[in-house]
Protein backbone atom coordinates (compact mmCIF):
# COMPACT_ATOMS: atom_id res chain seq x y z
CA UNK A 1 0.00 0.00 0.00
CA UNK A 2 1.55 3.27 -1.12
CA UNK A 3 -0.89 5.77 0.38
CA UNK A 4 -3.93 6.03 2.58
CA UNK A 5 -6.23 9.02 2.94
CA UNK A 6 -9.77 9.81 4.07
CA UNK A 7 -11.70 13.07 3.69
CA UNK A 8 -15.20 14.52 3.89
CA UNK A 9 -16.64 17.09 1.48
CA UNK A 10 -17.45 20.56 2.83
CA UNK A 11 -21.11 19.75 3.43
CA UNK A 12 -20.33 16.45 5.15
CA UNK A 13 -22.39 14.61 2.53
CA UNK A 14 -19.69 12.30 1.20
CA UNK A 15 -16.69 10.60 2.70
CA UNK A 16 -13.80 9.59 0.47
CA UNK A 17 -11.16 6.98 1.30
CA UNK A 18 -8.23 6.42 -0.99
CA UNK A 19 -5.58 3.72 -1.23
CA UNK A 20 -2.98 2.65 -3.77
CA UNK A 21 -2.32 -1.08 -4.04
CA UNK A 22 0.59 -2.87 -5.71
CA UNK A 23 -1.65 -5.10 -7.81
CA UNK A 24 -3.34 -5.17 -11.17
CA UNK A 25 -6.79 -3.68 -11.72
CA UNK A 26 -8.02 -7.19 -12.55
CA UNK A 27 -6.75 -8.57 -9.23
CA UNK A 28 -8.42 -5.78 -7.24
CA UNK A 29 -11.62 -6.15 -9.29
CA UNK A 30 -11.73 -9.90 -8.63
CA UNK A 31 -11.33 -9.34 -4.88
CA UNK A 32 -14.28 -6.90 -4.92
CA UNK A 33 -16.58 -8.88 -7.21
CA UNK A 34 -16.23 -12.62 -6.57
CA UNK A 35 -17.52 -14.75 -3.70
CA UNK A 36 -14.01 -15.96 -2.85
CA UNK A 37 -12.56 -12.48 -3.07
CA UNK A 38 -15.20 -10.83 -0.90
CA UNK A 39 -15.02 -13.56 1.76
CA UNK A 40 -11.22 -13.21 1.93
CA UNK A 41 -11.09 -9.58 3.13
CA UNK A 42 -14.44 -7.79 3.29
CA UNK A 43 -15.18 -8.15 7.00
CA UNK A 44 -13.69 -5.80 9.55
CA UNK A 45 -11.43 -7.36 12.19
CA UNK A 46 -13.39 -9.58 14.55
CA UNK A 47 -16.00 -10.51 11.94
CA UNK A 48 -16.36 -13.02 9.11
CA UNK A 49 -18.36 -12.77 5.89
CA UNK A 50 -20.24 -15.51 4.06
CA UNK A 51 -21.57 -14.55 0.62
CA UNK A 52 -25.03 -15.99 0.04
CA UNK A 53 -25.92 -14.31 -3.26
CA UNK A 54 -23.87 -12.40 -5.82
CA UNK A 55 -25.45 -11.06 -9.01
CA UNK A 56 -22.91 -8.61 -10.42
CA UNK A 57 -24.95 -6.37 -12.72
CA UNK A 58 -26.90 -3.13 -12.32
CA UNK A 59 -29.98 -4.10 -10.32
CA UNK A 60 -28.27 -7.27 -9.07
CA UNK A 61 -27.66 -7.99 -5.42
CA UNK A 62 -24.91 -8.93 -3.04
CA UNK A 63 -26.32 -10.70 0.00
CA UNK A 64 -23.99 -11.83 2.76
CA UNK A 65 -23.94 -12.71 6.44
CA UNK A 66 -21.54 -10.77 8.63
CA UNK A 67 -20.88 -12.55 11.91
CA UNK A 68 -18.95 -11.44 14.97
CA UNK A 69 -16.39 -14.16 15.66
CA UNK A 70 -14.09 -12.79 18.35
CA UNK A 71 -15.13 -12.51 22.01
CA UNK A 72 -14.73 -8.70 22.09
CA UNK A 73 -16.88 -8.19 18.97
CA UNK A 74 -19.51 -10.64 20.22
CA UNK A 75 -19.63 -8.71 23.50
CA UNK A 76 -19.84 -5.37 21.64
CA UNK A 77 -22.78 -6.59 19.52
CA UNK A 78 -24.58 -7.92 22.59
CA UNK A 79 -24.06 -4.67 24.52
CA UNK A 80 -25.34 -2.67 21.53
CA UNK A 81 -28.51 -4.78 21.40
CA UNK A 82 -27.65 -6.13 17.95
CA UNK A 83 -27.54 -9.73 16.76
CA UNK A 84 -24.12 -11.38 16.52
CA UNK A 85 -24.84 -12.20 12.88
CA UNK A 86 -26.62 -9.90 10.44
CA UNK A 87 -27.57 -10.31 6.82
CA UNK A 88 -26.36 -7.44 4.66
CA UNK A 89 -27.90 -6.44 1.32
CA UNK A 90 -26.36 -4.36 -1.39
CA UNK A 91 -27.92 -3.54 -4.75
CA UNK A 92 -25.52 -2.76 -7.57
CA UNK A 93 -26.28 0.47 -9.43
CA UNK A 94 -23.24 0.55 -11.73
CA UNK A 95 -20.75 -2.11 -12.82
CA UNK A 96 -17.87 -1.18 -15.15
CA UNK A 97 -15.29 -3.99 -15.07
CA UNK A 98 -11.92 -3.02 -13.56
CA UNK A 99 -13.01 0.65 -13.29
CA UNK A 100 -16.12 1.38 -11.25
CA UNK A 101 -18.50 -0.38 -8.88
CA UNK A 102 -21.45 1.45 -7.30
CA UNK A 103 -24.04 0.07 -4.93
CA UNK A 104 -26.70 0.90 -2.37
CA UNK A 105 -26.35 -0.65 1.07
CA UNK A 106 -29.47 -1.34 3.12
CA UNK A 107 -29.02 -0.26 6.75
CA UNK A 108 -31.76 -2.30 8.42
CA UNK A 109 -29.88 -3.57 11.47
CA UNK A 110 -29.70 -0.47 13.68
CA UNK A 111 -31.86 -0.62 16.82
CA UNK A 112 -34.46 2.17 16.86
CA UNK A 113 -33.67 3.44 13.35
CA UNK A 114 -35.93 2.96 10.35
CA UNK A 115 -34.18 1.10 7.49
CA UNK A 116 -32.57 3.28 4.82
CA UNK A 117 -30.12 2.95 1.93
CA UNK A 118 -26.77 4.65 1.50
CA UNK A 119 -24.64 4.85 -1.64
CA UNK A 120 -21.06 3.68 -2.15
CA UNK A 121 -18.89 4.16 -5.24
CA UNK A 122 -15.57 2.36 -5.74
CA UNK A 123 -13.33 3.61 -8.54
CA UNK A 124 -10.15 1.91 -9.75
CA UNK A 125 -7.43 3.61 -11.76
CA UNK A 126 -4.44 1.61 -12.97
CA UNK A 127 -1.12 3.45 -12.93
CA UNK A 128 2.60 2.88 -12.83
CA UNK A 129 2.57 2.44 -9.02
CA UNK A 130 -0.32 -0.05 -9.02
CA UNK A 131 -4.03 0.59 -8.67
CA UNK A 132 -5.46 3.71 -7.07
CA UNK A 133 -8.74 2.87 -5.34
CA UNK A 134 -11.11 5.66 -4.34
CA UNK A 135 -14.15 4.73 -2.23
CA UNK A 136 -16.83 7.37 -1.76
CA UNK A 137 -19.63 6.74 0.75
CA UNK A 138 -22.61 8.68 2.04
CA UNK A 139 -22.65 9.31 5.78
CA UNK A 140 -25.05 7.34 7.93
CA UNK A 141 -27.91 8.77 10.02
CA UNK A 142 -25.67 10.21 12.77
CA UNK A 143 -22.04 10.94 13.59
CA UNK A 144 -21.57 7.82 15.76
CA UNK A 145 -22.71 5.44 13.02
CA UNK A 146 -20.84 7.42 10.34
CA UNK A 147 -17.67 7.05 12.43
CA UNK A 148 -18.28 3.29 12.67
CA UNK A 149 -18.82 3.13 8.90
CA UNK A 150 -15.55 4.93 8.16
CA UNK A 151 -13.59 2.90 10.72
CA UNK A 152 -15.02 -0.34 9.30
CA UNK A 153 -14.23 0.58 5.69
CA UNK A 154 -10.71 1.73 6.57
CA UNK A 155 -10.14 -1.56 8.38
CA UNK A 156 -11.47 -3.52 5.38
CA UNK A 157 -9.21 -1.59 2.98
CA UNK A 158 -6.25 -2.33 5.27
CA UNK A 159 -7.27 -6.02 5.20
CA UNK A 160 -7.25 -5.86 1.40
CA UNK A 161 -3.72 -4.42 1.50
CA UNK A 162 -2.52 -7.23 3.79
CA UNK A 163 -4.08 -9.83 1.52
CA UNK A 164 -2.35 -8.39 -1.55
CA UNK A 165 0.93 -8.30 0.33
Domain assignment present for residue 115? The answer is yes
> What is the average pLDDT score of the chain?
91
On the question of pLDDT at 4 being above 90, the answer is no
Tell me, yes or no, whether 42 lies in a domain: yes
Quick one: pLDDT at residue 55? 98
Distance CA 34, CA 45 (A): 20
132 in Cβ contact with 99 (< 8 Å): no
Whether 97 is covered by a domain: the verdict is yes
Is 162 part of a structural domain of the chain? no
Q: Across the strands, what pairs with 53?
A: 63
Dihedral (Cα; 91, 104, 109, 149), 10-degree rounding: 140
Asked if 84 and 68 count as a contact pair (C-beta separation under 8 A), the reply is yes
**Structural domain span for residue 66:** 4-149
158 lies in a domain? no
Task: Label residue 11 by pLDDT band (50, 70, 90).
Answer: low
Examine the pLDDT at 42 and tell me if it is beyond 50: yes
**Is residue 164 domain-resident?**
no
Which CATH number is 64's domain given?
3.30.530.20
What is the number of domains present in the chain? 1
pLDDT in tens, 69-106: 999 999 999 998 889 998 999 999 999 999 999 999 99
Query: CA–CA distance from 152 to each of 96, 113, 137, 159 (Å)?
Result: 25, 19, 12, 10
Residue 160 falls inside a structural domain: no
Amino acid sequence: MADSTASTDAGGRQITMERTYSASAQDIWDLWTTREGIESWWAPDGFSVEVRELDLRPGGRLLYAMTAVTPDMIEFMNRAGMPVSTEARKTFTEVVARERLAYLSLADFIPGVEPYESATVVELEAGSQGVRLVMTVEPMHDDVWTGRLVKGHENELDNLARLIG
